Amino acid sequence: MGSINAAEWDIMASGPADDGFEDLRDAFRARLARERMHFTTASAALAAVGGDPASVYNDLQERARRLHGGAMIFEFGEVAAAASTLEHAALLASTSHCDNTDGAVWAALIFLVELMGRQQGKRIRAAADGVTSRSI
Amino acid sequence: MQIDHDPLEQSNSDLHDTILTRRLEESPPCRVLVVDDDYLVRARLSALLRDSHFDVEVAASGAEALRVMEATRCQVLITDWQMPDMDGLTLCRNVRAEHSESYVYVLILTVCDSKTDFLTGLAAGADDYVVKGAPIAELMARLEVARRITHVELSLRESNRENRRRSVTDELTAAHNLRYFVKHLPRELQRSQRYGHPLAVLSCDIDSFKEVNDSYGHPAGDHVLKAFVARGQSCIRRASDWLARVGGDEFMIVLPETRLQGANRVAQKLRAACAECPVETPAGPVGFTVSIGVTAVDVSREAENTSRIENLLRAVDRSLYASKGRSVRTAPSATAARPGGPNVTGERNGLN
């Protein structure tokens, strides 16, 4: 293949007009609603756990990790960052054998649930400033 | 209600398709396996890849990815890192340990963005490492690199295969060459000895070949050699027997699972096929005959392989010489007219 000049790359980078991204993004947004419910349930489980909360922390970590990756792909940057924070907090709490009152986990969990609540039903436009690139 | 389309957006879309089509017309096919436990991520990547004229397979886990790769050759693997069942690094290590014939280009696509993570990923055998959230242009540019590299690897592999084939193939006749004969005859003999199965060898020499070259020219001689190989191939079993050119006009035919009687029949058939009709050459039709020595291995003997090979070759040479001798006594004049040319026949003779 020959080299591709900058102008051609800009056009290629923008992707075709209709590549199904918005449909997939809508599907991800719908998933956010389901995940929010799950995290809400998990918070109740964490609050109620009597013994070792490790399994709850592990579940939070796994869920948050998956949410982090998907949010990065579908351009939900704030959600991605919040999910990453929860993921790391839950991992630390689990490995440190914390009880169910770990402050970092609770703070990250509450913030993430509230953030996902704000995302529900919103259409987030792509960034302005003439940026045509999409993230993966 | 009519919906107005932005003409610029439409124009860019058409141009995008044109550019891709033009650039990718010369690209070799490239199949990408996308591995991620999130189906939406798999869908997104698949759409991007198909749009860029990649063939796409998907898997939801490392274990599933290995199953897909076992069934379908994929040149590129894009894998998430953290997945249940088998993570991306373990998958990468498994792919590298596989030592398959073709190289798989591995790109890790993950949220893990520290320098340590990056180095860990490469140390596991990945060729590239991209953090989720990077621009599309970056991912697609890296995948074009992957496409180029896998294409180069394919070209090299095919070139190596061709070189290996040429190293054991006679360029003129496409028969096996002396190198192949020297390598494979001992194996045939060893197999014959190990399992007590018969093995026969024919030593073939085109009669008065030098005179053919002198009378009709070397191009005609080349046609005669090719004709011998073609007629020889038609007399043997393709699945097991093989023919090698071991000298200018000398050929060996190895017949596994064949006793002396069967070898004599093959020799008779081959001599008849050679003498049956002349060969069309640039110098006109040229007839030729062949002398054949026949020998079969006595698997009951206890001699070592090397000496047996020597014995085998000595025996078949003696047989050929005897055949030539009888041919000389019965040969017509060397000035025999066309189309017959040298018209001698060698009687079969076998030693056991």
What residues form DSSP beta bridges with B294? B202, B350
pLDDT tens column, A66-97: 999 999 999 999 999 999 999 999 999 999 98
Name the residue among A2, A69, A77 with its Cβ closest to that of B41.
Answer: A69
- Assess B304–A contact: CB distance below 8 Å, yes or no: no
Question: Scanning every residue of chain A, which has its alpha carbon at the shortest distance from the alpha carbon of B152?
Answer: A1
- Assess B140–A contact: CB distance below 8 Å, yes or no: yes
Q: What is the pLDDT of residue B301?
A: 57
Rounded to an integer, the average pLDDT of A9-29 is 70
pLDDT tens column, B76-98: 999 999 998 899 999 999 999 98
**pLDDT-derived band of residue B15, with 50, 70 and 90 as boundaries?**
low
Helices vs strands, H then E, count in chain A: 5, 0
Task: Please give the Cα distance from B132 to B3 (Å, whole number).
Answer: 35
- A99 phi-psi bin (left φ>0, alpha ψ -120 to 50, beta other): beta
pLDDT beyond 80 at B160: yes
**pLDDT-derived band of residue B316, with 50, 70 and 90 as boundaries?**
confident
Task: Please give the Cα distance from A34 to A48 (Å, whole number).
Answer: 21
In Å, how far is A41's CA from the nearest CA of chain B? 21
What residues form DSSP beta bridges with B110? B131
Residue B93, token pair as written in the block: 């290590």
Please answer whether residues B172 and B296 qualify as being in contact, where contact means their C-beta atoms are separated by less than 8 angstroms.
Answer: no
What residues of chain B lie within 8 A of the CB of A77, using their CB?
133
Q: What is the pLDDT of residue B294?
A: 93
Q: Give the ipTM.
A: 0.74
Question: Do B47 and A19 make contact, defined as CB atoms within 8 angstroms?
Answer: yes
pLDDT beyond 90 at A107: yes
Mean predicted lDDT score pLDDT of chain B: 84
Task: Please give the Cα distance from B185 to B202 (Å, whole number).
Answer: 12
Task: Please give the Cα distance from B162 to B165 (Å, whole number).
Answer: 5
pLDDT beyond 60 at B307: no
Which 3 state secondary structure label does DSSP give B300? coil
Higher pLDDT, B110 or A127: B110
Q: What is the pLDDT of residue B348?
A: 35
Rounded to an integer, the average pLDDT of A1-12 is 48
In Å, how far is A43's CA from the nearest CA of chain B? 23
- Assess B152–A contact: CB distance below 8 Å, yes or no: no
Question: Do B23 and A74 make contact, defined as CB atoms within 8 angstroms?
Answer: no
Q: What is the pLDDT of residue A41?
A: 93
Residue B329, token pair as written in the block: 């006594």
Q: What is the pLDDT of residue B150?
A: 94
Q: What is the pLDDT of residue B14?
A: 61
**pLDDT-derived band of residue A115, with 50, 70 and 90 as boundaries?**
very high
